[in-house]
Each structure stands twice: as structure tokens, then as C-alpha cells.
Amino acid sequence: MTSNTHRILIIEDDPVIRRFIRSSLEDEGCEVYEADTAARGLIEAGTRQPTLLILDLGLPDRDGREVIQDIRTWSQMPIIVLSARTQEHEKVAALDAGADDYLVKPFGVSELLARVRAQFRRNAAPGRDDLPVFSFGEITVDIPQHRITRQGEEIHLTPIEYRLLAALIRNHGRVLTHRQLMIDAWGPGYAERTHYLRIYMKQLREKLEHNPAQPQFLLTETGVGYRLQS
């Protein structure tokens, strides 16, 4: 977030929250726009062309999920949603609709900045989707060749494990819901069998993580899904 200026749009109905998000992001050198309703927010998003959107899910005029779906029809900009802690299904719905990450209210400034930076980093990677080689930690993944190595040493993955990893790599830095991962790795008929996912994630961690009990890259988002953090 250093050289080029980022334009950030905040859609949030509480002025105090808007205010502190704005000031902390401006401290980081971002250009910040505000909107207090979904209708206003969509207009702002269309005219200002922000590079990142922070969206509150509890807007007075429209459901946050609809706003996301609306924006996803014309833009792939990263979206971070703000939600109440206990409403897991709301978060999952927002992520399924196309949001990239979420923050639980009340959150600290440091948490907010970390998430924002992560999204910028992800976008900054040149041609991120068709990158031939992806690496995290000691692991290198050669995508065209389906080859995974740790410090040059090859690691064997089953087809499902590979598909799972590939889905996470394609969306690294984003939170992927259980549903999205199940559909990517097994196909649409398996969306409800989340225990498959748990078993395979465990295997994947055992193969790729240094300490599977305290993973550094393949992270769990309780009740929501997983995320690959590079």
C-alpha cells in the first residue's frame, strides 16, 4: 500500500465506524469514499471505481448479499464484509455471493489493516490467476505440471488433495466457504458432505505444513471455511 494510491469505498450506516475506518485508512495513504446506504454505495462504486470495498452486512435499505451480487456482475474488486459475530450463516452467504473476506464486529484497527493489506497484496501479484508457479513457505507448486515440491523434494498428493490445493491457490488470501471448496474438489453433488473436506484438509496439512497442529498457511475459518494465506 505504499506507492500507488488505493481508492477504498466504505458502505456502512454507522457514522462513527465510518469515521474511524476512514481515518485509519487515510493514515495508510489511501483515498477513502463513504456511503451510508446501499443505494448510495452502488452509485459511489460505479462513479469512483474503487480498488477495494468495505461493506457492512447490516445496511438499512438492502441485504448486503444482494449488493455483493450486484457489484460482482461488473467488477472483481476485493470486497471485505463487516458482520456481527454470531451470524455465521450471514458471513457464509456473503462469501458464497462473492465477498473475499470478512471482519467480525467489533474489530480492532490492526485487524482491519491486516485484511486490507492482504487483499491489496493479492491483487498486486501480476497475472495472478494464470501464474505457472505458486509458492508458500517451503512449498512450491508447479501448476501446469501438477508438481508439488518442498525444497526440491517432491510431495505426492492424491487427485482430490491436488484439486483442493489448486482451488485454494487460485483464491489465495480469500476465504473459501466449505460449499465452494466441496464443489471445486468433488463436484456439486457433494456440497453437504463437509466431513470429507475436514478429512482431506487434515491430510493436506500433514503433507504440507511444518506443524499441522499450528498451521501457518492452510488456515481454518471456524464455521465458515478455509483460507490459504501466503
CB of 132 to another protein, least distance (A): 25
CB of 19 to another protein, least distance (A): 7
Is position 117 an interface residue for another protein (rule: CB under 8 A)? no
Select 2 or 73, whichever has its Cβ closest to another protein: 2
- Kindly identify the residues of this chain, within the stretch 76-115, that bind another protein according to CB under 8 A: 84-88, 105-110, 112
Is position 66 an interface residue for another protein (rule: CB under 8 A)? no
CB of 219 to another protein, least distance (A): 7
Rounded-to-integer distance, Cα 136 and Cα 97, Å: 27
Interaction pattern, residues 17-56, with another protein; x per rule: CB under 8 A: x-xxx-xx--x-----------------------------
- Residue from the set 3, 16, 145, 152 that interacts with another protein by CB under 8 A: 16
